[in-house]
């Protein structure tokens, strides 16, 4: 422990803790060379939290305690860039030609000519495949972070950037430039990307196509607490506005970054002739697969800053830099077979089994074929020679077939035919949902789904039944003790303990201790977990932790969610929007119609206005509650609305609760008397409601659908008071089933007795 010095004031201690925490942060996340253990770091962190709590006047948005994120935003503010964020001109490699890097040779020679020199010093560094951002440091403090946008105006993503550990919240340098605007890339490290996608797959959320999309998608989240949970990193590569000691060249710039604790790109190779530039580019090509981020090129930049200024920029890009693009590595291999995987949600996914090949640094022997459409469109047949490429240099994809190499007897492939219309895991019929390409197994208790559903149900993000992982779930399904997650609640400790996780020859018992732990987690902890954890646990397609969180914030209970007017209206709004777009009198088709039959104009106008009325009045209550927001991109008179829950997720949720499986879930939870509380409910409600119950006092009695604490919280949130004893001064008795003596007193004193429904109506009025 670092001792607290007696002469330190709280202000000094806070400043010291912040700088110390950021220093350790840098050692851990940038230098990968930590000095202290996690628990020592936590102790410093908690001390700072405590001090900040008792000294709110010393609060700072750039305190390391803010890295966990804050309240969600409605939308991103705009930021005008002080120096435009330009693009880079690309130089392409032409593989197969005599000089594949001819464009590089031309660029170098042209630039020498422009500069009036016979040769030029340049640097060559990896091009990071991420999202361009700018970080503005004023007097050493992070003032804002913004995306590139159109190069002149970008989105203010400061709250999200603060959660990224490799972005310093303040600079720790002996000399601090007054203004330092750093340009760089946000990216998701390759390894973390693979893990995140696996997790999303488990949650039934769509996987990101590549790390760049994952980074871009994350930065667009309006809830910085969600961003904090995603593994993003930052690397600086350039400079925007700058007021400080003059920087003469690329070395000065690198030193400045290092001095300030900003993560730099590596390697930055120096080249002093055309030959060296060509070599350096090759060198980057060779080592790019070993870098933690995706790269599809090398950036060549002039070394000398005075020369950079002389050459200047076009409207689009500087003349002093160019990006050499490597063609994605492709190889031909044999498609030996197509296997079918049944996912947790029952979707049948065709997978290409390939003759193994080395590609962009790894061995590839399988590649997803996505769905039937993909197979048909590319006319992929077993026995074909196929061209494989790594999309975004990460996920192998089949680009096309090589028709010349097709064996004469190769047959077109059909998923339905291959599996004979049956789920390969359970034999149940498969079906294709209307408008969807995917084939799905129709059996909710399909073993292929059962194991992953149970594992998912018990995962940390869901109900956190620690001792039940994949092998216990497999054993349970194998022993026919569980077909679906809620069957777990019917198991006794003995049944669990006797479970064989090994084989017949080498049995391995689950054991008493694990069994007891699992039983307790199921019967004591799980029933009190909040609604979002339960919703996550059901594994509804497209509904992961983030959406579950939004659902819990907008629904008071599972029952309310299962027949949600809000979700129904989201779907309705989407349908209405589609209709409105067709009904718009300004569409080409409608204009033509009016020209040909002028009488129809009134009708068309009226129809449009009436649809528009329905649309805006459907949106109104949800806008008022703050569940949805009006977006800027209005089309003519048609407003656009944004919500944290997408329409396709809304459809999945409604479908789930309407399905037999969903109805069984509700029934079973009812039987088990489990009513997950929703403590975050109304978190988005607008502030007007806060004083709704001002001056009113409540007494609660009888059995309600939620624990009392739930209603107490709601009453307090709306400005009311709760007392335990009834008196003549009480305004309302909120009464559930039972509640004898208080009810009698309320009748005697003429105090309004209200039901749970009355109360809910009251606060939603």
Residues within the interface to ligand IVH (CB under 6 A): 86-88, 125, 127-128, 132, 185, 237-238, 265, 299, 318, 321, 323
C-beta nearest to ligand IVH: residue: 132
Q: How far is the CB of 28 from ligand IVH (least distance, A)?
A: 24
Q: In this complex, which beta carbon is closest to ligand IVH, that of residue 320 or of residue 656?
A: 320
Compute the distance between CA of residue 345 and CA of residue 592 in angstroms, rounded to an integer: 46
Residues 623/629, Cβ–Cβ less than 8 Å: yes
Contact 352, 327 (CB under 8 A): no
Which residues have a Cβ under 8 Å from the Cβ of 206 and sit 6 or more positions away? 200, 542
Q: Give the number of other Cβ atoms within 10 Å of residue 38's Cβ.
A: 9
Tell me the C-alpha distance between 188 and 210, whole Å.
9
Nearer to ligand IVH, 87 or 616 (CB): 87
Tokens representing 286? 């060779």
Q: Is residue 127 annotated as part of the catalytic site, yes or no? A: yes
> In angstroms, what is the minimal distance from the CB of 335 to ligand IVH?
34
Read off the tokens for 230: 């995603």
Which residue's CB is nearer to ligand IVH, number 86 or number 746? 86
Starting from the edge strand earliest in sequence, which strands make up the sheet with 752-754, in order? 721-722, 697-701, 732-735, 752-754
| Spatial contact of 78 and 155, defined as CB atoms under 8 Å apart | yes
- Let me know the angle formed at the C-alpha of 610 by 608 and 611, rounded to the nearest 5 degrees: 65
Q: Which residues of 698-733 are buried (b: 16+ CB within 10 A; e: fewer)?
A: bbbbbebbbebebbbbbbebbebebeeebeeebebb
Least distance from ligand IVH to the Cβ atom of residue 284, Å = 10
SS3 75: coil
**In this structure, are residues 148 and 343 in contact, taking their beta carbons and an 8 Å threshold?**
no
Q: Give the residue with the Cβ less far from ligand IVH, 79 or 323.
A: 323
Distance (Å) of CA 479 to CA 353, 472, 501, 522: 31, 10, 10, 20
CB of 219 vs ligand IVH, minimal distance in Å: 13
**Residue where the block lists tokens 């966990």:** 68
**265 vs 452, beta carbon nearer ligand IVH:** 265
323/611 with CB nearer ligand IVH: 323
How far apart CA 447 and CA 425 sit, in angstroms, is 7
Which CB sits closer to ligand IVH, 392 or 539?
392
Rounded least distance, CB 184 to ligand IVH, Å: 8
For ligand IVH, the closer CB: 136 or 567? 136
Residue 22 CB, shortest distance to ligand IVH, in Å, is: 25
Count the helices and strands in the chain (H runs, E runs). 27, 24
Query: Minimal distance in Å, beta carbon 123 to ligand IVH?
Result: 9
CA 147 from centroid of its chain's CA atoms: 17
Measure the CA–CA gap between 722 and 143, rounded to whole angstroms.
44
What is the Cα gyration radius of the chain?
Answer: 31
Instruction: Measure the CA–CA gap between 102 and 107, rounded to whole angstroms.
Output: 9
Instruction: Give CA–CA dist 385/294, Å, rounded.
Output: 27
Active site residue: 127, 301, 390, 742, which one? 127
CB of 684 to ligand IVH, least distance (A): 34
Q: Catalytic site residues? A: 127
């Amino acid at each position: 422990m670092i001792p607290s010095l007696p002469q330190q004031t709280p202000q000094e201690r806070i400043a010291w803790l912040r700088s110390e925490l950021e220093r350790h942060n840098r050692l851990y996340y940038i230098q990968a060379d930590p000095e202290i253990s996690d628990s020592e770091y936590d102790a410093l962190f908690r001390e700072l939290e405590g001090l900040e709590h008792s000294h709110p006047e010393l609060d700072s948005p750039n305190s390391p305690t803010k890295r966990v994120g804050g309240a969600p935003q409605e939308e991103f503010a705009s930021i005008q860039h002080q120096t435009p964020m330009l693009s880079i001109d690309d130089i392409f490699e032409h593989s197969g030609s005599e000089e594949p890097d001819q464009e590089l040779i031309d660029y170098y020679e042209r630039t020498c000519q422009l500069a009036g020199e016979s040769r030029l010093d340049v640097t060559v560094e990896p091009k990071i495949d991420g999202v361009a951002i700018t970080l503005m440091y004023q007097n050493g403090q992070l003032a804002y972070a913004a995306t590139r946008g159109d190069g002149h105006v970008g989105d203010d993503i400061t709250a999200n950037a603060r959660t990224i550990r490799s972005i310093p919240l303040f600079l720790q340098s002996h000399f601090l430039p007054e203004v330092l605007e750093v340009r760089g890339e946000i990216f998701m490290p390759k390894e973390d990307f693979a893990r995140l996608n696996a997790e999303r797959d488990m949650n039934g959320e769509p996987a990101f196509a590549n790390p760049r999309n994952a980074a871009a998608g994350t930065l667009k989240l309006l809830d910085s607490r969600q961003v904090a949970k995603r593994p993003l990193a930052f690397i600086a590569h350039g400079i925007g506005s700058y007021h400080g000691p003059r920087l003469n060249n690329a070395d000065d710039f690198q030193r400045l970054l290092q001095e300030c604790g900003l993560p730099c790109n590596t390697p930055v190779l120096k080249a002093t002739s055309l030959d060296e530039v060509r070599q350096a580019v090759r060198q980057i090509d060779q080592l790019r697969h070993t870098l933690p981020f995706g790269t599809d090129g090398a950036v060549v930049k002039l070394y000398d800053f005075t020369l950079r200024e002389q050459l200047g920029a076009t409207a689009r890009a500087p003349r002093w830099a160019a990006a050499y693009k490597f063609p994605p590595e492709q190889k031909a291999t044999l498609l030996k077979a197509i296997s079918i995987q049944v996912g947790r949600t029952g979707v049948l996914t065709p997978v290409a089994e390939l003759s193994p090949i080395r590609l962009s640094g790894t061995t590839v022997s399988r590649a997803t074929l996505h769905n039937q459409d993909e197979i048909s469109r590319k006319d992929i047949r077993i026995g074909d020679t196929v061209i494989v490429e790594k999309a975004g240099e990460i996920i192998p994809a089949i680009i096309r077939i090589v028709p010349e190499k097709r064996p004469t007897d190769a047959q077109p492939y059909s998923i339905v035919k291959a599996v004979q219309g049956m789920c390969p895991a359970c034999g149940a019929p498969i079906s294709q949902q209307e408008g969807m390409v995917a084939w799905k197994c129709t059996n909710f208790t399909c073993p292929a789904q059962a194991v992953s559903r149970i594992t998912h149900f018990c995962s940390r993000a869901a109900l956190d039944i620690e001792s039940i992982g994949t092998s216990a779930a497999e054993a349970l399904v194998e022993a026919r003790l569980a077909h679906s997650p809620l069957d777990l609640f019917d198991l006794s400790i003995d049944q669990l303990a006797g479970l064989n996780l090994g084989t017949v020859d080498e049995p391995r018992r689950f054991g008493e201790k694990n069994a007891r732990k699992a039983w307790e987690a199921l019967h004591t902890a799980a029933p009190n977990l909040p609604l979002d954890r339960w919703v996550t646990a059901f594994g509804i397609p497209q509904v992961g932790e983030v959406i579950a969180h939004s659902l819990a914030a907008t629904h008071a209970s599972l029952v309310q969610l299962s027949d949600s007017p809000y979700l129904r209206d989201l779907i309705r709004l989407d349908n209405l929007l589609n209709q409105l777009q067709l009904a718009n009198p300004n569409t080409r088709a409608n204009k033509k119609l009016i020209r040909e039959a002028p009488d129809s104009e009134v009708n068309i106008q009226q129809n449009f206005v009436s649809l528009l009325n329905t649309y805006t009045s459907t949106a109104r209550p949800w806008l008022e509650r703050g569940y949805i927001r009006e977006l800027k991109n209005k089309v003519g008179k048609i407003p656009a609305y944004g919500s944290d829950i997408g329409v396709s997720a809304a459809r999945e949720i409604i479908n789930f609760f309407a399905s037999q499986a969903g109805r069984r879930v509700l029934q079973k939870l009812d039987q088990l008397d489990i009513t997950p509380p929703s403590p975050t409910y109304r978190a988005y409600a607008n502030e007007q409601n806060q004083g709704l119950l001002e001056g009113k006092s409540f007494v609660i009695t009888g059995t309600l659908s939620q624990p009392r604490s739930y209603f107490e919280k709601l009453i307090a949130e709306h400005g009311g008071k709760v007392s335990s004893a009834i008196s003549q001064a009480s305004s309302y008795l909120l009464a559930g089933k039972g509640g004898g003596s208080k009810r009698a007193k309320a009748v005697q004193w003429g105090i309004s007795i209200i039901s749970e429904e009355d109360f809910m109506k009251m606060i939603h009025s």
